[in-house]
């Protein structure tokens, strides 16, 4: 369990107390050493003008053509197709248009020989705080995540947001993750949000961006709903430069922090706009039940519950009944969920029928490697003797693969778009 320390107790990796006047430069020195600050935000037009950018200008995505993937071992994660040996995939303009053995040649198509490859859908990370990437090399004994975040928060600029998000998304793509939920729980200003929008555009990734609060916002104050509405209208409306690859949602601090009135006002605002809403729940002893959310009409497929290692049977039943998905940050739960029973909760969630997806929380807390996350879930996802999981089914390989792909897409409301190799879906393929 992470221990909180006073400022005087917080030490750097050399063992000396940090000076009281910690500057942004000293805080970010480690990030500069990793080359992070070399990622600077390029000039980028306002949303209304971005759609008129000519192909090839800075920040433009490559043209999409036709691709034939030949003779691969397909792990489709589509129950109607299953696994197919020696099959082909035809991609046109970023869409899967055919899957079969021995597809006909396509004049001018790029050919990818997959005869010695496994071909599978791109993986989906359903909960990461991308803006915290700079923190990954700052933590030390007695100076862990929350202490570092407390020091970093006052100094993060719009350029840092761009750099952090880009670093996180480049790392994700390199690991075969093609969709990410950018859970921004430090919305500082219009400038920082637009820096994140630029990063989403330039990365080319598919994403859900959820708009949240500035870190440390008083629990009796609403998030900046007018700004959220402006960002939604300007960046996610007609002619968006994000080309429909990025969805807009909201994250809320939850009932363990907010009063019922503030919580419900934020939820009503989001639901009136049809937004997906994400929230943390039940990783610490400041737990709360999601049963009231069901009673108020807030629990459903568009409400992502994150962590929830302290869920009770009635909570899981409410999630199953309403279709509310769980985002389980497997490494983070094991480190930060100090109340224990994380593996048992995972087994219960899967056995009860909750849509369980996997996530990382951020690269300051976990390796950005979905194969490792799936492997870890498989290893810990077994019933334990003399516990309330005894007699339940263990997680199998198919369970954890779904958790890293189609379940993640379903949690983000993108299962009609990605998460499996299916004709008509986008070609998010690894």
User: What is the reported pLDDT for 324?
Assistant: 99
* Three-class DSSP labels, the chain: CCCCCCCCCCECCCCCECCCCCCHHHHCHHHHHCCHHHCCCCCCCCHHHHCCCCCCCCCCCCCCCEEEEEEEEEECCCCCCCEEEEEEEEEECCEEEEEECCCCCCCCCEEEECCCCEECECEEEEEECHHHHHHHHCCECCECHHHHHHHHHHHCCHHHHHHHHHHHHHHHHHCCEEEEEEECCCCCCHHHHHHHHHHHHHHCCEEEEEECCCCCCCCCCCCCHHHHHHHHHHHCCCCCCCCCCEEEEEEECCCCCCCHHHHHHHHHHHHHCCCEEEEEECCCCCCCCCHHHHHHCCCCCCEEEEECCCCCHHHHHHHHHHCCCEEECHHHHHHHCCCCCHHHHHHHHHHHCCCEEECCECCCCCCCCHHHHHHHHHHHCCCCCCCCCCCCCCCCHHHHHHHHCHHHHHHCCCCCCCCCCCCCCECCEC
User: What is the reported pLDDT for 238?
Assistant: 83
Decide if 66-119 and 123-411 have a common fold.
no
What CATH number should be reported for the domain whose range is 123-411? 3.20.20.140
User: What is the reported pLDDT for 345?
Assistant: 94
Instruction: Decide the pairing of beta strands 83-92 and 95-100.
Output: antiparallel
User: What is the reported pLDDT for 267?
Assistant: 98
Q: Structural domain boundaries of the chain? A: 66-119, 123-411
Token digits for 390?
A: 């005894």
User: What is the reported pLDDT for 383?
Assistant: 96
The CATH number, out of the four listed (2.30.40.10, 1.10.287.130, 3.50.80.10, 2.60.40.2700), of the domain defined by the range 66-119: 2.30.40.10
User: What is the reported pLDDT for 265?
Assistant: 98
CB atoms under 10 Å from CB of 236, counted, come to: 17
User: What is the reported pLDDT for 184?
Assistant: 97
CA atoms within 13 A on the CB side of 430: 19
pLDDT tens for the 430 residues of the chain, in order: 333 333 333 222 233 333 333 333 333 333 333 333 333 344 344 444 333 332 333 345 566 899 999 999 999 999 999 999 999 999 999 999 999 999 999 999 999 999 999 999 999 999 999 999 988 888 889 888 888 888 998 999 999 999 999 999 999 999 999 999 999 999 999 999 999 999 999 999 999 999 999 999 999 999 999 999 999 999 998 889 998 999 999 999 999 899 999 999 999 999 999 999 999 997 666 667 999 999 999 999 999 999 999 999 999 999 999 999 999 999 989 877 666 678 999 999 999 999 999 999 988 889 999 999 999 999 999 999 999 999 999 999 999 999 999 999 999 999 999 999 999 999 999 9
């Amino acid at each position: 369990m992470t221990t909180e320390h006073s400022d005087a107790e917080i030490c750097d990796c050399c063992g000396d107390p940090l000076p009281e006047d910690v500057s942004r430069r000293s805080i970010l020195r480690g990030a500069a050493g990793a080359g992070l600050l070399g990622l600077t935000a390029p000039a980028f037009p306002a949303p209304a003008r971005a759609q008129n950018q000519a192909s090839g200008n800075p920040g433009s995505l490559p043209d999409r053509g036709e691709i034939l993937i030949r003779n691969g071992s397909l792990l489709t994660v589509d129950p109607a197709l299953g696994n197919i040996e020696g099959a082909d995939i035809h991609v046109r303009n970023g869409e899967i248009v055919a899957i079969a053995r021995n597809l006909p040649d396509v004049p001018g198509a790029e050919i990818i020989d997959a005869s010695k490859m496994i071909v599978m859908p791109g993986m989906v990370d359903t909960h990461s705080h991308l803006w915290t990437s700079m923190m990954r090399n700052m933590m030390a004994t007695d100076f862990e995540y929350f202490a570092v975040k407390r020091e970093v928060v006052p100094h993060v600029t719009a350029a840092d947001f761009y750099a952090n998000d880009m670093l996180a998304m480049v790392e994700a793509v390199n690991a075969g993750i093609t969709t990410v939920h950018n859970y921004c729980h430090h919305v500082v200003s219009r400038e920082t949000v637009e820096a994140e929008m630029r990063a989403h555009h330039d990365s080319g990734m598919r994403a859900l961006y959820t708009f949240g609060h500035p870190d440390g916002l008083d629990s009796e104050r609403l998030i900046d709903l007018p700004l959220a509405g402006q960002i939604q209208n300007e960046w996610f409306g007609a002619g968006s430069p994000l080309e429909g690859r990025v969805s807009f949602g909201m994250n809320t601090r939850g009932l363990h922090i907010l009063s019922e009135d503030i919580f419900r006002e934020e939820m009503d605002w989001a639901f009136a706009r049809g937004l997906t809403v994400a929230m943390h729940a039940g990783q610490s002893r400041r737990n709360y039940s999601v049963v009231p959310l069901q009673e108020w009409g807030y629990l459903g497929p568009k409400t992502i519950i994150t962590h929830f290692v302290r869920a009770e049977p009635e909570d899981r039943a409410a999630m199953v009944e309403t279709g509310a998905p769980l985002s389980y940050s497997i490494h983070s739960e094991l480190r930060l969920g100090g109340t224990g029973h994380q593996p048992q909760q995972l087994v219960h969630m899967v056995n009860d029928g909750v849509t369980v997806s996997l996530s990382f929380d951020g690269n300051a807390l976990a390796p950005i490697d979905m194969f490792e996350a799936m492997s870890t879930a498989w290893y810990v996802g077994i019933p334990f003797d003399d516990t309330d999981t005894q007699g339940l089914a263990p997680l199998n390989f198919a369970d954890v693969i779904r958790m890293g792909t189609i379940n993640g897409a379903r949690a983000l409301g993108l299962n009609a778009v990605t998460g499996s190799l299916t004709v008509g879906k986008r070609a998010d393929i690894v």
